[in-house]
Amino acid sequence: MNPTTTANAPQERRAATLVMACLGVFVAYLPVTTVSVSLPAIQRALDASTSQLSWVSDAFVLPMAALILTAGVFGDVHGRKKVYLAGLALSGLGSLVALCAQNVQTVWAGQALAGLGSAALLPTTLALISHAVPDHRERGKFIGLWATALSAALAVGPVIAGTILDHYSWRWIYLLSVPVSLVAVVVGAKVLTDSRAPGSRRLDWPGQLTAALAITALVYGIIEGGATSFTDVKVMVALSTAAVAAVGFVIVERRSSSPMLDLTLFRSPAFTATTLIAMISFLGLIGFFFALSLYFGMVQRLSTLDAAWRLLMVTLVTLVLGAPVGRLIQRVSPRVLIPGGLLVSSAALLSLTDIGVHTSFGSLAWRLALLGLGMAFVITPMTATAVSSVPFHQAGMAAAGNNAFRQVGAALGPAILGTLLSTKAVDALSGHLTDAGVTGQTVRQVTAVADHDGIGAVAGLDLGAETPRVLGALSEAFLDGLHLCLIVSAVLTLLAALVGALLLRRPQPAPPVTGPREPSAAASPGRRPETAALAANGTPE
283-292 pLDDT tens trace: 887 778 778 8
The reply to whether 158 and 208 lie within a common domain is no
Q: What is the pLDDT of residue 115?
A: 92
Is 155 domain-assigned? yes
Q: Enter the pTM of the model.
A: 0.75
Q: What is the pLDDT of residue 507?
A: 44
Nearest alpha-carbon partner for 394 in 42, 83, 73, 33:
73
Scored b (16 or more CB within 10 A) or e, 495-505 reads bbbebbbebbe
The reply to whether 191 and 220 lie within a common domain is no
The reply to whether 194 and 211 lie within a common domain is no
| Residues contacting 350, CB < 8 A, separation 6+ | 486, 487, 490
Rounded distance between C-alpha atoms, residue 274 and residue 384, angstroms: 9
Is 434 domain-assigned? no
Rounded distance between C-alpha atoms, residue 475 and residue 491, angstroms: 24
The reply to whether 214 and 190 lie within a common domain is no
The reply to whether 23 and 46 lie within a common domain is yes
Boundary (domain end) residue, out of 151, 184, 200: 200
Phi, psi (rounded to 5 degrees) for 538:
75, 30
Sign of CA dihedral 258, 263, 264, 266: positive
The reply to whether 396 and 302 lie within a common domain is yes
Nearest alpha-carbon partner for 73 in 37, 10, 119:
119
Is 436 domain-assigned? no
Q: For the domain that residue 276 is a member of, what is the CATH number?
A: 1.20.1250.20
pLDDT band at residue 84 under the 50/70/90 scheme? very high
Residue type, 294: L
Q: What is the pLDDT of residue 6?
A: 38
**Is the model's pLDDT at 293 over the cut of 50?**
yes
Domain count, the chain: 3
The reply to whether 146 and 229 lie within a common domain is no
Domain that holds residue 292: 264-414+489-508+528-541
- Say if residues 105 and 124 touch (Cβ distance below 8 Å): no
Is 475 domain-assigned? no
**Is the model's pLDDT at 449 over the cut of 90?**
no
pLDDT in tens, 383-437: 778 777 777 667 667 777 787 788 788 777 877 887 788 888 888 888 888 888 8
Q: Determine the average pLDDT of the residues in 325-353.
A: 88
Boundary (domain end) residue, out of 171, 200, 229: 200
Nearest alpha-carbon partner for 407 in 73, 62, 88:
62
**Is the model's pLDDT at 505 over the cut of 70?**
no
Q: Determine the average pLDDT of the residues in 14-28.
A: 88
Is 101 domain-assigned? yes
**Is the model's pLDDT at 267 over the cut of 90?**
no
The reply to whether 117 and 153 lie within a common domain is yes
pLDDT band at residue 49 under the 50/70/90 scheme? low
The reply to whether 68 and 178 lie within a common domain is yes
Rounded distance between C-alpha atoms, residue 521 and residue 135, angstroms: 5
**Is the model's pLDDT at 93 over the cut of 90?**
yes
The reply to whether 167 and 229 lie within a common domain is no
Rounded distance between C-alpha atoms, residue 345 and residue 162, angstroms: 26
Is 350 domain-assigned? yes
**Is the model's pLDDT at 520 over the cut of 50?**
no
Average pLDDT, the chain: 80
The reply to whether 231 and 375 lie within a common domain is no
Rounded distance between C-alpha atoms, residue 245 and residue 405, angstroms: 16
| Residues contacting 472, CB < 8 A, separation 6+ | 357, 436
Q: Determine the average pLDDT of the residues in 44-57.
A: 73
The reply to whether 59 and 149 lie within a common domain is yes
